[in-house]
Homo-oligomer: A and B are copies of this chain.
Amino acid sequence: MKEIFFTAGPSQLHKNYAQYYNEALQKNLGSANHRSNTFRDVYKYTYTQLKQLLKLPNDTAIFFTGSASEIWERMIQNLVLNKSHHLVNGSFSKRFYEYAAALGINATKYEVELLKGYNEAALKVEEDVELICTTQNETSTGVKMNPTLLNKIKQINKNALLCSDLVSVAPVSEIDYTQVDSTFFSVQKAFGMPPGLGVWICNNACRQKATILQSNNKIKTAHHTLETFYKNFEKWETPSTPNIIAIYVLGRIAEEFNTYGFEKLKNETAIKKQIIYETINNSNVLKVAVENIDWQSDTMLVFKTEKSSTEIVNELKKSNLIISTGYGAIKESTIRIANFPTTSIEDINKLAFALKQLG
């Protein structure tokens, strides 16, 4: 049996990944100039497919970077003059906060324990906060943010921009994109592609804020300013030569998801999650790590283990089933199982069977 990757990302490649990549090679996209009609058509195509898949509002722009972590930095550089606020409950939401602090702005945070989510107390921020940074799916702990809470943040704090890190959940997130100003993700998670592309989604409010900073010479980057991104986006171009082939393949996978149907994708994600949770409920070795059902991520399933997580990972590896250890402080005491659209119900059943064998 070939290895199946349930890793936190990079993860299992989409089953048609190689086919779409080959299509791109056949179309000579690897040699295409990023100021040619060939590239413009690719950009427009991928934009259109993503807009449909994620139900993005009409004032949406989509930009491409080297990685999602780059976007943490671009977000702060382009949208914050003095103050950002961060909801922190794990390694990645914390790193977003640390990026902001390192960039020299006044970054504040509301931090909760690992494996916990947020309640209403987390929602109200100080009046002078310019950007509220949230993480929809904390990849290190498998805690998701309730979409209703996210909407409330926007309603309560009308003066601040709101951004949501969708790294390990897009496109199967349930968030309402009309209620956030900016989101972003990388392609090596739920889209099932190799790493090398970050995707940054912005609305007009972001553009307006960036324009104010830019006209006051307050932007601290030269490379990926929102101004340059927008100027190029209007022509379906990019500021520098991007990962053209990855942009094309992302569009193809988004198209396939559109054809398949977002609801079906969501339902299958729920079914697969249920299969794994039922298995864990009957396990003597593993137990649920995120106790509050509302906080249990749909795409990153995290479980506690009394054995070392490395031992569990190695045991499953013998059956060619590749999962991840925990991350950060709970690396050894938890395991992480990605539940991305790229693994089938059949794959998940194989994993459930192997988890049962652990005892």
What residues make up the interface of A, taking CB atoms closer than 8 Å to B?
Answer: 3, 5, 7, 9-13, 17-18, 21-22, 25, 28-34, 65-70, 72-73, 76, 98-100, 102-104, 186, 188, 193-198, 219-224, 239-246, 322, 324
Q: Would you call the interface of chain A mostly helix, strand, loop, or mixed? A: loop
Asked if B10 and A18 sit within 8 Å, CB to CB, the answer is no
Known contacts A17-B30, A196-B244; can you find 16 more A-B pairs with CB under 8 A?
A: A7-B31, A10-B30, A10-B31, A13-B30, A30-B188, A30-B193, A65-B66, A66-B198, A67-B241, A68-B240, A69-B240, A76-B222, A99-B222, A102-B222, A103-B222, A196-B197
Given contacts A73-B221, A196-B197, are A12 and B25 in contact (CB under 8 A)? no
Q: What are 9 A-B pairs at a CB distance below 8 A?
A: A3-B31, A10-B30, A29-B194, A34-B195, A66-B67, A68-B240, A70-B240, A194-B243, A195-B244
Residue of B nearest to A99 (CB): B222
Asked if B243 and A195 sit within 8 Å, CB to CB, the answer is yes
In the complex, chain B residues whose CB is within 8 Å of the CB of A186 = 241
- The answer for the CA separation of A338 and B269 in the assembled complex, in Å, is 48
Given contacts A67-B242, A69-B239, are A28 and B9 in contact (CB under 8 A)? no
Given contacts A25-B18, A220-B220, A223-B70, are A196 and B196 in contact (CB under 8 A)? yes
Given contacts A66-B65, A66-B70, are A244 and B10 in contact (CB under 8 A)? yes
Asked if A223 and B18 sit within 8 Å, CB to CB, the answer is no
- The answer for the CA separation of A18 and B3 in the assembled complex, in Å, is 23
Sort A-B residue pairs by CB-CB distance and give the 9 closest, nearest first. Answer: A66-B66, A196-B243, A30-B194, A102-B222, A69-B240, A99-B222, A73-B223, A195-B241, A5-B31
In the complex, chain B residues whose CB is within 8 Å of the CB of A242 = 67, 195-196
Residue of B nearest to A324 (CB): B33
In the complex, chain B residues whose CB is within 8 Å of the CB of A98 = 222
Given contacts A66-B67, A70-B223, A222-B99, are A246 and B196 in contact (CB under 8 A)? yes
Asked if A7 and B21 sit within 8 Å, CB to CB, the answer is no
- The answer for the CA separation of A17 and B31 in the assembled complex, in Å, is 12
